């Protein structure tokens, strides 16, 4: 007999997690608690309540976490200008630590013996959920059905539903892709995308128009920063999740944020996926622009040096780790004077910076000017600077060393 009496499941209300509810009940003879998070996936989450009730679930958690998600996870990540392997803005990765944390908190609140999730045994999400869970509750039991059962196809899942009278929607015309969405992005995998040579179908994309179909006139916006975070757009103060919602809309309308990449998963395989991240694409460009005038050179270069490491930490699932907290402390310290406003031009898939200003700007027009600087900079000083920096090169060349 199983020693698992109660399990908290990350529950979407879709096919996979609906099957998991019944499978947990059948396999472990346990009570299931469902947790559904609204992190801006663009679909109603409340229907999950009735679906869970129909499966005999008595404890149902449905929570609006949009504000917390952007404020405490997305914004801290963007302070570092984080991007994985030069392209991926980590839209799925950054959502997992919040869900893992709430799974553990709910397990503690309800006295559950275990947590469960619907991530497959091939992907990164299983790692992210479980690393977070173990960091927050070392002795927690994790049940990952995809690593235990033999229901390894949609047909088998549907047959399981029919056999056990599990209510699931069988919508015609539903997207065939495996998709994951939250306020930062929407991802697409599977079907023809499994061939790296096949072009994604244009009607696959949900959040953006194609650059070709975007308006023929550019859209200008101004984003205002305080300590590295956007606090207003076009002079209107906004909460973090409102910022991202607004940027997703204006970015999507202008064909911004589509990428098609092959990435290296932490579990070892390469995976091809398409992502729409309109708001995040704008945020990254704007943040680098405001840092360009407010950050000291060496601090900016240090951030660029550590960013790939920070990106790997998040991508691989180590948000709840001492190395991430240490990196975050350094990153957050750099943002003290990252204040000001950036003006952007959005046009047919492009984000162009056309202006930046700040009371904390380190850009000195008197020194940088090509006109008369009235003695602000003595150009003769450059001679000694160059000779000192060339000293090691001159010594080596004098010894006859060849490059």
- The rounded distance, in Å, linking the Cα atoms of 96 and 82 is 16
Are 73 and 95 a contacting pair, CB within 8 Å? yes
- The rounded distance, in Å, linking the Cα atoms of 147 and 121 is 6
DSSP string, 49-95: HHHHHHTT--EEEEEE-HHHHIIIIIHHHHTTT--BTTTB--TTGGG
Is residue 93 part of the annotated active site? The answer reads no
- The rounded distance, in Å, linking the Cα atoms of 365 and 355 is 15
Non-local CB neighbours of 244 within 8 Å, separated by 6+ positions: 40, 70, 74, 183, 184, 279, 280, 283
What are the E-state strand segments in 288-399? 340-347, 350-357
- Out of 93, 125, 128, 258, pick the active-site residue: 125
- Out of 72, 178, 180, 253, pick the active-site residue: 178
- The rounded distance, in Å, linking the Cα atoms of 177 and 186 is 11
- Out of 22, 96, 285, 356, pick the active-site residue: 96
Is residue 12 part of the annotated active site? The answer reads no
**Strand order across the 258-264 sheet:** 178-181, 186-189, 270-276, 258-264
Are 215 and 221 a contacting pair, CB within 8 Å? no
Is residue 178 part of the annotated active site? The answer reads yes
CA distances from residue 378 to 165, 303, 364, 381 in whole angstroms, order as listed: 83, 30, 15, 6
The token pair that represents 348 in the structure block:
């047919």
Is residue 187 part of the annotated active site? The answer reads no
Task: Give catalytic residues, as residue numbers.
Answer: 16, 96, 125, 178
């Amino acid at each position: 007999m199983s020693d698992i009496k109660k399990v908290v499941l990350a529950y979407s209300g879709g096919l996979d997690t609906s099957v998991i509810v019944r499978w947990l009940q059948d396999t472990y003879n346990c009570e299931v608690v469902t947790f559904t998070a609204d992190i801006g996936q663009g679909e109603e989450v409340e229907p999950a309540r009735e679906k869970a009730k129909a499966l005999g679930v008595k404890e149902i958690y449905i929570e609006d976490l949009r504000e917390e998600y952007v404020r405490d996870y997305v914004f801290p990540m963007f302070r570092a200008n984080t991007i994985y392997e030069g392209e991926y803005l980590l839209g799925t990765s950054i959502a997992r630590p919040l869900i893992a944390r709430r799974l553990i908190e709910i397990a503690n609140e309800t006295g559950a013996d275990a947590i469960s999730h619907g991530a497959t045994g091939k992907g990164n999400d299983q790692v992210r959920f479980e690393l977070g869970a173990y960091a927050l509750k070392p002795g927690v039991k994790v049940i990952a059905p995809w690593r235990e059962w033999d229901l390894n196809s949609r047909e088998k899942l549907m047959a399981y539903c029919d056999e056990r009278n599990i209510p699931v929607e069988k919508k015609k015309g539903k997207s065939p892709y495996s998709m994951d969405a939250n306020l930062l992005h929407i991802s697409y995998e599977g079907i023809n995308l499994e061939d790296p040579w096949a072009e994604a179908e244009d009607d696959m994309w949900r959040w953006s128009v194609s650059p070709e179909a975007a308006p023929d006139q550019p859209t200008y916006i101004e984003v205002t920063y305080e300590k590295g975070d956007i606090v207003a757009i076009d002079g209107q103060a906004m909460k973090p999740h409102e910022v991202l919602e607004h940027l997703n809309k204006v970015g999507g309308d202008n064909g911004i944020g589509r990428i098609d990449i092959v990435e290296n998963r932490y579990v070892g395989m390469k995976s091809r996926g398409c992502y729409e991240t309109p708001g995040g694409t704008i945020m990254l460009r704007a943040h680098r622009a405001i840092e360009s005038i407010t950050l000291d050179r060496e601090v900016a270069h240090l951030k660029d040096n550590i960013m790939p490491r920070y990106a790997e930490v998040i991508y691989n699932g180590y948000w709840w780790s001492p190395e991430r907290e240490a990196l975050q402390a350094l990153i957050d310290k750099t943002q003290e004077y990252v204040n000001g406003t950036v003006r952007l031009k959005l046009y047919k898939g492009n984000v162009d910076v056309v202006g930046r200003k700040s009371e904390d700007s380190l850009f000195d027009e008197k020194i940088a000017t090509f006109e008369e600087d009235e003695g602000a900079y003595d150009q003769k000083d450059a001679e000694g600077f160059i000779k000192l920096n060339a000293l090691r090169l001159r010594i080596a060349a004098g010894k006859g060393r060849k490059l």
